[in-house]
Structure formats: C-alpha cells, structure tokens
C-alpha cells in the first residue's frame, strides 16, 4: 500500500486541505476527534491533534499503514538488511484496552481469577484481551474521555442514579478504547453483556457510538448514556464545536428514540457539551 501524500503530511504535523483527503476517511478522523479544523472563509483545512494517536488509529484500521512506523530516512535495503523484510511489518507493542471500577468486579483472565479493583489513582490494562471474561450481569460502560475514565469515583453517584433509573445492573466495569484501536470493540463482540456508551454530547460523539459500536453490537445490547439534565447543560455548551461538526454530521439520524431526541436537541440549541462537565457532580 502506498501511503497518500495527504496522510503523510498529516502525520508530519502539516496542515492539509480538505479537498486532498478521502471524504470517508475524513469523516472517520473527525468523528474520532483526531483532527483540528482550520477554517479560512468557506475553505477548510485539517491538522492532526496528536500525530501519535493518528498513527495508532491508522495502523489499527488497516495493517498496511504499518509502513508509517518505519523511519522515513530508512531505505528498503537498510530495512531488509536489519529485519530480513523490505516491507517492514511491526507488531503493535501494546494491544488491549484499560479497565477501571469503583468497586471490585470478579473477572477472569485465561480462566484464572482476575479481580478488577484498582485503588484510587490508577487503573488496569488488559493486554491479552481475547482471554478476558467478565460476569454476565456486569454492565460495560465505555468512557470516551480519559479524564472521565480516570476519575470515575468522582462520578459514582451520577452513574448509580442513571443505572437505577434505567433498570440496569449496578455492577459495572468501565473501559476505554484508548490507545485508539478496535480491540475493545472486538472484545465486546465476544461477550453478551450490555454496553453503555458515555461520550461527549455532540454530533461527532454520537457518530462514534453509532458507527463504531452500535452497528456491531446491535440495538438491544448497546445504548447511549443520556443524562436527565442534558438539555440545561447544552445551553452552556460550545457553539464553536457544533459549527465545526455541523457540515459533516448534520444528517446523522438514529432509530433509537432517545438518541434521536438528543440529536434534535443538539441542533435546536446549536451547542455541544463535553462529558468532562460531569466529573464534578460528586463532592
């Protein structure tokens, strides 16, 4: 696979005109929050928020992108001499995903007990995720923002009230898909537990849920966490981020009534609200 000049430019930290990028890939990268939008009149250009995160995402999306792991100054002859393979293929050094909890969850790794109960200030990382299993009555909560993920104890009351109101189990395991990869989604597809997605309340965040999780897990097994006070929260949200996302995601729809109502509300308020706003809900 030949890496396009536009992708190479993004990985080098350069600004790239939207017209130079594949529209489908551009939508994915925007939904993942990997690009910054630079507007000049009606023209838009893009720059990587985090070049390492962008590289990880591309590699996990398509094995062919692993060629970007090679140093651009290395010739094929040098790579062949050092590795025996002129088409250098590197194994991802850190597969898996982090897990967290605010009370002990009796999990298993390779059939052996693996209780998840990290003390405050840390979380665990499951590398051999194909051998990771959890009790059937545990709700898996996917947290998009790493700050929310790290500080789940400060949001415990928020989660407990939501789960109780919606008739979901109070036994929960928190997961994150960072570093960005498909490992978490692939693991979720192997279990029967309900998946609750906690992301930003904006069009890009909803797109991530619909196209990265819900279309693989189905309507019955997955849902989007929509707080009861989101309408009042959106009023103090970001107009700028809504405007940045609107052109790309204005036509997004959902057959889930509550989620479509959230989409309609976002359009009505013309605002976006970050999930970090819920971190301080507990004293």
Q: Indicate which CATH number applies to the domain containing 60.
A: 1.10.10
Same domain, 47 and 102: no
Contacts for 156 with CB less than 8 Å, ≥ 6 apart: 102, 282
Same domain, 78 and 131: no
283/120 Cα distance (integer angstroms): 15
Same domain, 56 and 119: no
In this prediction, residue 162 carries a pLDDT of 97
Tens-digit pLDDT profile for the chain (283 aa)? Answer: 446 788 888 888 888 888 888 888 888 888 888 888 887 777 888 988 888 888 878 876 665 565 555 444 444 444 344 444 434 344 456 789 999 999 999 999 999 999 999 998 899 999 999 999 999 999 999 999 999 999 999 999 999 999 999 999 999 999 998 766 789 999 999 999 999 999 999 999 999 999 989 999 998 999 999 999 999 999 999 999 999 898 888 899 999 999 999 999 999 999 999 999 999 754 4
Same domain, 102 and 77: no
Domain end (from 83, 112, 141)? 83
Residue 47 lies in a domain: yes
Are 235 and 269 in contact by the 8 Å Cβ rule? The answer is yes
Are 177 and 53 in contact by the 8 Å Cβ rule? The answer is no
Same domain, 79 and 101: no
In this prediction, residue 28 carries a pLDDT of 84
In this prediction, residue 65 carries a pLDDT of 61
- Its pTM stands at 0.73
Residue 235 lies in a domain: yes
Same domain, 41 and 175: no
Burial of residue 208 (CB within 10 Å: 0-12, 13-18, 19+) is buried
HEC profile for 191-248? CCCCEEEECCECHHHHHHHHHHHHHHHCCCCEEECCCCCHHHHHCCCEHHHHHHHHHH
71/73 Cα distance (integer angstroms): 5
Contacts for 129 with CB less than 8 Å, ≥ 6 apart: 95, 96, 97, 183, 184, 186, 187
Are 29 and 35 in contact by the 8 Å Cβ rule? The answer is yes
Domain end (from 31, 53, 83)? 83
In this prediction, residue 27 carries a pLDDT of 83
- Which tokens hold the place of 89? 């293929």
21/48 Cα distance (integer angstroms): 13
In this prediction, residue 89 carries a pLDDT of 41
Residue 90 lies in a domain: no
Residue 89 lies in a domain: no
Contacts for 1 with CB less than 8 Å, ≥ 6 apart: 62, 64, 65, 67
In this prediction, residue 41 carries a pLDDT of 72
Please tell me the total count of domains within the chain. Answer: 2
Same domain, 142 and 219: yes
16/6 Cα distance (integer angstroms): 6
Q: pLDDT tens digits for 136-183?
A: 999 999 999 999 999 999 999 999 999 999 999 999 999 998 766 789
What number of CA atoms fall less than 13 Å from residue 157's CA on the CB side?
7
Domain end (from 26, 58, 83)? 83
Range of the domain at 252: 97-281
Same domain, 101 and 25: no
Residue 92 lies in a domain: no
Same domain, 136 and 21: no
What CATH number is associated with residue 146? Answer: 3.40.1360.10
In this prediction, residue 3 carries a pLDDT of 60
């Amino acid at each position: 696979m030949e890496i396009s000049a536009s992708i190479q430019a993004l990985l080098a930290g350069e600004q790239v005109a939207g017209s130079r990028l594949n529209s489908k890939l551009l939508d994915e990268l925007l939904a993942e929050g990997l690009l910054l939008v630079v507007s000049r009149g009606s023209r838009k250009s893009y720059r990587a928020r985090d070049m390492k995160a962008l590289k990880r995402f591309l590699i996990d999306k398509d094995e062919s992108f692993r060629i970007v792991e090679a140093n651009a100054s290395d010739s094929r002859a040098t790579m062949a001499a050092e590795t025996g393979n002129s088409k250098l293929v590197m194994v991802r050094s850190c597969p898996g995903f982090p897990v967290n909890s605010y009370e002990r969850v009796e999990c298993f790794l390779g059939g052996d007990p693996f209780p998840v109960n990290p003390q405050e200030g840390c979380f665990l990382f499951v590398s051999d995720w194909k051998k990771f299993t959890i009790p059937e009555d545990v709700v898996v909560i996917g947290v998009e923002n790493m700050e929310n993920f790290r500080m789940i104890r400060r949001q415990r009351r928020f989660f407990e009230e939501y789960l109780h109101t919606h008739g979901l189990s109070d036994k929960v395991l928190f997961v994150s898909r960072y570093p960005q990869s498909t490992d978490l989604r692939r693991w979720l597809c192997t279990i029967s537990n309900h998946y609750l997605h906690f992301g930003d309340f904006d069009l890009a965040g909803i797109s991530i849920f619909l196209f990265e999780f819900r279309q693989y897990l189905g309507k019955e097994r997955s849902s989007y966490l929509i707080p009861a006070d989101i309408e009042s929260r959106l009023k103090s949200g970001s107009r700028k981020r809504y405007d940045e996302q609107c052109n790309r995601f204005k036509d997004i729809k959902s057959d889930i009534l509550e989620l479509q109502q959230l989409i309609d509300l976002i359009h009505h308020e013309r605002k976006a609200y970050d999930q970090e706003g819920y971190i301080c809900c507990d004293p």
